[in-house]
Structure 1
Amino acid sequence: MNSGAGNAGKTRLLLADDHEMLLEMFAIYLRTNHDFEVVTARSFDEAVERIEAEGPFDVALLDWNMPGMHGVAGLKRALQLQGGRPVGIITGEALPKVIDETVAAGAAGIVLKSSGVRSLVNALNLILSGERYLPFDLVMRRADPNEESNDTLTKREMLILVEIAKGKRNKEICADLRLALPTVKMHVSSLCRKLGAKNRLHATVIARDLGLI
């Protein structure tokens, strides 16, 4: 599939995310290992400029919480600009309400940043085939919205999360918050579990996408 100007035979993808390191990692992998011509943007306004100047793209994948996106409002505008070509959402975490809103608005799928590059390729291929992509765990969460009702971060976990986002190590957090090291470690493990994060960096990405920090 190919639209507009670009390399013949390549699928043209617009990938928009304000997390620069993640954006470049995904873009480099798709350009190097798969038949994608990737155009990147770091805000919704830049994504709109790209679509207007170079689109529509075969598929657009937009960060749910990047500057200017404003959730469903941004998704609907992107769908209009794409002229019927698919627009998917990429996010660190998706609550049941977000899933319902994006599906109802016409999103071609939701891709979790934690899924990795191989899952990203699978998602894009499914979307390009005309199907809607939702990871299995999101489908289960949508079916049971109360699944995470006991996973709200405590005030202390939020304090520690803010310190982690500043790049502080456990010993620094201990000193600043006057907590024992085992206590900090326990809360870090707990907040990572509640956020579904693999590590501290992943926890900050998810928390930012959820608007927690």
Structure 2
Amino acid sequence: MKLLIVDDHEMLRGALASYLQTDPDCRVHEAEDVPSALRVLRKEGPFDVVLLDFHLPGMDGLDGLREIMAANQDRPVALFSGSADSSVAAAALRCGASAFLSKTMPIEELKLELGNIVANRAPTWLPGSGDIGASAVHLTPRQEQVLQGIRNGQSSSEIARDLSLQETTVRMTMKLLFAKLRVEDGGQAPA
């Protein structure tokens, strides 16, 4: 997997790159803001996936996302945040982001999600977002697991325990899941 990590926090970016590069099939490049990411994309791109911090110098709302997606030749771009709400995630997904990942998720889960994004190479569509139709909602394997827990009537803490995750990760997954499904809570989620 050829990956570009774009994050202005050097320690986080470097630690994540170091961990991912322990996999011999993973080649990681780094950038600290949108302008430097665009330079890396021109020189080294396109990438299998770009992991883009949502709160980044040069993002200017979702305009930075659009620039990065265009420069990556419409290959997957996943947004990465520790403090965004479901409305921001929904807007990013409608804009074309392949995923909206939480900085609070375990690093092994992040690696798995990046691999899923690359393997699927499919955009995430929201219901009613155009040609695909209302039923075309792509859920990640983690979102499917959380949805199953909701269907079983479990609380976020119970789902977290069963999936060996932190409860904050489950709550962020729920927010993104509800945004994709365009529902307010688990009671409205499809059975």
The verdict on a shared fold, with TM-score over 0.5 as the criterion, is yes
The amino acid of 2:78's aligned partner reads G
The reply to whether residue 18 of structure 1 matches residue 1 of structure 2 is no
Cα distance in structure 1, aligned partners of 2:21 and 2:175: 32
The amino acid of 2:79's aligned partner reads I
Compared CA separation, residues 129 and 109, structure 1 to 2 (3 A): same
Match among 46, 49, 62 for residue 56 of structure 1 = 46
The reply to whether residue 118 of structure 1 matches residue 108 of structure 2 is yes
Where do 5+ consecutive residues of structure 1 fail to align?
1-10, 148-213
How many pairs align? Answer: 137
Q: Which residue of structure 2 aligns with residue 91 of structure 1?
A: 81
Shift of 1:42: 0.8
Structure exhibiting the larger radius of gyration computed from Cα positions = 1
Shift of 1:139: 4.7
Match among 122, 135, 141 for residue 175 of structure 2 = 141
Percent of paired sites with the same residue: 32
Shift of 1:140: 2.4
Q: Which residue of structure 2 aligns with residue 41 of structure 1?
A: 31
Contact 1:15 1:27 survives alignment (8 Å): yes
Compared CA separation, residues 100 and 64, structure 1 to 2 (3 A): same
Q: Give the alignment of 1:144-159 within 5 angstroms.
A: none
CA RMSD after TM alignment = 2.1
Shift of 1:112: 0.8
Cα distance in structure 1, aligned partners of 2:173 and 2:12: 24
Contact 2:4 2:49 survives alignment (8 Å): yes
